[in-house]
Amino acid sequence: MDSVDVEVLRSAEAWRKAGHRVTFGTIVKTWGSAPRPVGALVAVRGDGQVVGSVSGGCVEDDLVEKVRAGAVAKDGPQTITYGVTNEEATRWGLPCGGTLVVVLEPVTEKSAFGELLETISKQRLVRRRLELDSGRVTMSPGTWQDVLEFDGKVLTTVHGPRWRLILIGAGQLTRYLAEMARMLDYHVAVIDPREEYAAGWDLAGVPLERGMPDDVIAAANLDGHSAVVALTHDPKLDDLALMEALKSAAFYVGAIGSKKNNDARRKRLKEFDLSDGEIARLRGPVGLFIGSKTPPEIAVAILAEMTAVRHGVTEPSWAAKPAARFDPSACEVAPAASGKA
């Protein structure tokens, strides 16, 4: 499955090849409460069809009008600003005081979207450099540390998987988690030396490593854009992988299993050369508590927690495991009460 950004690029290139006029937009700056972040993409076809988003609706409506009229990016790239004043912000449906700057460019063969998509399909990061004066596009290999840069004359964007997820075990849950993670711009790899699981692994675009987990993890040079989740329920495989992952700079390390099993796992990990602080990094049971039962639900819970960690959000109170089943009647209060149950 493609990420949202890849879908925008793919649609823009397909429209161009079909002979449509296409305008491609990238948010390069925001101020205040802009609804979409820097780097958000949109493509508008000459007849008004849209894929992607830079505002959630209202700005897109104006872009559609301008693209249909041929009033923007007709001869080359340009910038356009929305919401300079509170009145304009209200007009475009932006939060009060919100402002965003979008670089618009006509999509042509020189845009090199085909080359860009081919490189992304190989799970590689790409830096795309656009010169606004000339419309010249060049590309080079990217790194996980690269970010969007714009100085008014040159726009450099980064495309491809910005995050890396390594999954231990090639079971059913792994398949759901891998597919969902790719939609969130993760480069996903799976480690499983077991023949009975490896033989059935056929998820396109997700490689399977057959080595021992600790060796593969140790050689992976995990950094702050990396995550590891152990999913086999087999201590011989999971513990070895976790032992290496917890010593790395990975931003997230988790393991499937009950609280009892994970408490036992932490005791086992103490027998290795891991500090108490390193062991404390282990997230197990893995994922936010949302009552997950099925493999797809568990995958959602894991990715939700990973997303929260990425953005520095602490676990919300409603996602903590309850001591007892929630009873709505226990929270009823009289109208004049303070609101505390």
> For residue 286, is pLDDT > 90?
yes
Whether 89 and 186 share a structural domain: no
Distance CA 88, CA 246 (A): 49
Sort 232 into a burial class: Cβ within 10 Å, 0-12 / 13-18 / 19+: buried
Q: Which residues contact 303 (CB under 8 A, 6 or more apart)?
A: 177, 180, 181, 184
Residue 266 lies in a domain: yes
DSSP string spanning 245-289? HTTS--SEEEE-S-HHHHHHHHHHHTTSS--HHHHHT-B-S-S--
Per the CB < 8 A criterion, the answer to whether 213 and 240 are in contact is: yes
Element (H, E) at 124: none
Q: Which domain holds residue 282?
A: 163-319
pLDDT value at 252 more than 60: yes
| C-alpha 337 chain-centroid distance | 43
Closest among 44, 25, 127, 134 to 82, alpha carbons compared? 25
Are 145 and 168 members of one domain? no
Residues 69 and 175 in one domain: no
Q: Does residue 115 share a domain with residue 87?
A: yes
Give the model confidence (pLDDT) of 189-224 as tens digits. 999 999 999 888 989 889 999 999 999 999 998 988
Number of domains in the chain: 2
**pLDDT tens-digit readout, 123-161:** 788 999 999 999 999 999 998 788 999 999 999 999 987
CATH number at residue 200: 3.40.50.720
Residues 92-113, mean pLDDT to the nearest whole number: 87
Domain end, chosen from 133, 159, 185, is at: 159
Q: Which of 100, 124, 159 is the last residue of a domain?
A: 159
140: in domain: yes
Residue 235 three-state SS: helix
- pLDDT in the model for residue 52: 92
Q: Are residues 185 and 268 in the same domain?
A: yes
- pLDDT recorded at residue 22: 98
62 found inside a domain: yes
- For the stretch 266-282, pLDDT in tens is 999 999 889 999 999 99
Please give the Cα distance from 5 to 90 (Å, whole number): 27
Q: Is residue 112 part of a domain?
A: yes
Q: Of 160, 146, 182, 157, which Cα lies nearest the Cα of 24?
A: 157
Do the domain assignments include residue 308?
yes
The answer on 89 and 193 residing in a single domain is no
- pLDDT at position 199: 86
* 261 domain-assigned: yes
Give the pLDDT confidence score for residue 89 in this predicted structure.
66
Quote the pLDDT of residue 1: 40
What is the average pLDDT across 285-289? 92
Residue type, 168: I
pTM listed for this prediction: 0.69
Q: Please check the confidence at residue 335 and state whether its pLDDT lies above 90.
A: no
CA–CA separation, 114 and 132 (whole Å): 20
Same structural domain for residues 168 and 154?
no
* Together in a domain, 128 and 224: no
Q: Given the DSSP bridges, would you call strands 252-255 and 137-141 parallel, antiparallel or unpaired?
A: unpaired
Asked which of 115-119, 180-184, 317-321 is least confident by mean pLDDT, the reply is: 317-321
Residue 331 in this model has a pLDDT that exceeds 70: no
More confident residue, 312 or 334: 312
Residues 60 and 197 in one domain: no
Specify if 101 maps to a domain.
yes
For residue 98, being part of any structural domain is answered with yes
Same domain assignment for residues 152 and 186: no
8 and 142 in a common domain: yes
pLDDT of amino acid 210: 94
Helix then strand then coil, % of the chain, to nearest 5? 35, 20, 45
Whether 2 shows a pLDDT value over 70: the answer reads no
Same-domain check for residues 213 and 309? yes
pLDDT given at position 333: 38
